[in-house]
Amino acid sequence: MARLSVCAVVLAMQIPLSYAQETPSDRLQVKPPITQQMTAPSANATVEELESQGDRLRAQKSYFDALDFYRAALRKDPNSARLNNKAGMAELQGEHIGESVHYFQRAIKLDPKMAAAHNNLGAARYEERKYGGAAKEYKKAIKLEQDASYYSNLGAVYFSQKKWAQANEAYSHALQLDPDLFMRASRFGIAAQMSSPQDRAHFQYVLAKLYAKSGNSDRALLCLRRAMENGYKEIDAAYKDDEFANLRKDPRFVELMANRPLALPN
């Protein structure tokens, strides 16, 4: 079942500048974006073939090309909750948030027990900064299916609302279900969504506490270092927070706190 993590912030495309090579000039020329020549969906293709091609294109981040294939599949099978959900994911990943909501709501209407669609609608609401609506959908997804990404997304809502205790609880559930969740690089990673360096630093500190509490010293130290590099101002709390009681006995903790890395430039 296809899922989309919280939410999801898409980085703006950067088109590089280059000097024009044909003739000497003091002007810069912007290179046009590379376009992909994509064959239109075949009228004779089956729903399965169209969906499969849409999946491949979405994996390649060609979201709107993927959407063409999902729409073609939906014309043949308009009552597919799965296809509506995937079309919504392509819209959301392409930053068409309003359009994505339409597809997710359609998917839920067709299959109210589709946890992924509730989660994805929550992601769209999160992007709209409608945190109450986002939390409501994430909780529905969690009730239907215990999935680490759903708890992580719920934690992101609480984090955005500065509800630290609830965020900590949600992230803790996520780690119990998937200890590697926060270590995997993702274009839609939670930390990537946070506009403030201090928020990113705080998030890393929260993760350090969770890893320390679970006994994963290596990851706790890694997250502590990242919190420092992002300029976390309350890092000395690590000397007294209960979660770090055992970690404070580790020589690596002592060394890290004594030789703190400089905060990286934003």
| Domain region containing 128 | 1-9+45-161
- Which of these ranges, 37-41, 68-72, 180-184, 199-203, has the smallest mean pLDDT? 37-41
Res 21 pLDDT > 90: no
Tens-digit pLDDT profile for residues 22-69: 444 556 556 555 445 567 888 889 999 999 999 999 999 999 999 999
Res 189 pLDDT > 60: no
The reply to whether 2 falls in a domain is: yes
Q: In whole angstroms, what is the distance from residue 249 CA to residue 94 CA?
A: 47
Secondary structure of the chain in HEC code, one letter for each residue: CCCCCCCCCCCCCCCCEEECCCCCCCCEEECCCCCCCCCCCCCCCCHHHHHHHHHHHHHCCCHHHHHHHHHHHHHHCCCCHHHHHHHHHHHHHCCCHHHHHHHHHHHHHHCCCCHHHHHHHHHHHHHCCCHHHHHHHHHHHHHHCCCHHHHHHHHHHHHHCCCHHHHHHHHHHHHHHCCCHHHCCCCCCHHHHCCCHHHHHHHHHHHHHHHHHCCCHHHHHHHHHHHHHCCCCCHHHHHCCHHHCCHHHCHHHHHHHHCCCCCCCC
Give the per-residue pLDDT at 10.
Answer: 32
CB-based burial label for 152 (10 Å; 0-12, 13-18, 19+): buried
Give the per-residue pLDDT at 25.
Answer: 52
User: What residue type is 266 in one-letter code?
Assistant: N
Give the per-residue pLDDT at 208.
Answer: 95
Per-residue exposure over 235-252, b if at least 16 CB sit within 10 Å of its own CB, e if not: beebeebebbeebeebee
The reply to whether 233 falls in a domain is: no
Answer with the residue of higher pLDDT: 44 or 144: 144
- Look up residue 55 and give its two tokens: 């999946």
Res 142 pLDDT > 60: yes
The total of structural domains in the chain comes to 1
The reply to whether 120 falls in a domain is: yes
Q: Mean pLDDT for the chain? A: 84
The reply to whether 139 falls in a domain is: yes
Contact (CB, 8 A) for 123 and 5: yes
Average pLDDT value for residue range 218-236: 93
The reply to whether 60 falls in a domain is: yes
Give the per-residue pLDDT at 209.
Answer: 95
Q: In whole angstroms, what is the distance from residue 21 CA to residue 93 CA?
A: 35
Tell me the pTM: 0.77
CA distances from 129 to 4, 88, 95 (A): 17, 18, 14
Residue 133 banded pLDDT, cuts 50, 70, 90:
very high
Give the per-residue pLDDT at 36.
Answer: 52
Average pLDDT value for residue range 214-233: 93
pLDDT above 90: percentage of residues in the chain: 71
Average pLDDT value for residue range 5-33: 43
Q: In whole angstroms, what is the distance from residue 253 CA to residue 184 CA?
A: 23
Give the per-residue pLDDT at 28.
Answer: 59
Residue 120 sits in a domain of what CATH number? 1.25.40.10
Coil/strand/helix, residue 30: strand
User: What residue type is 63 in one-letter code?
Assistant: Y
The reply to whether 174 falls in a domain is: no
Res 2 pLDDT > 80: no
The reply to whether 252 falls in a domain is: no
Closest Cα to residue 89, out of 114, 67, 73?
A: 67
Residue 49 CB contacts under 8 Å (≥ 6 apart), including other chains:
42
Within 13 Å and on the Cβ side, how many CA atoms surround 17?
4
Residue 96 banded pLDDT, cuts 50, 70, 90:
very high
Taking residue 97's Cβ as centre, other Cβ atoms within 10 Å add up to 16
The reply to whether 80 falls in a domain is: yes
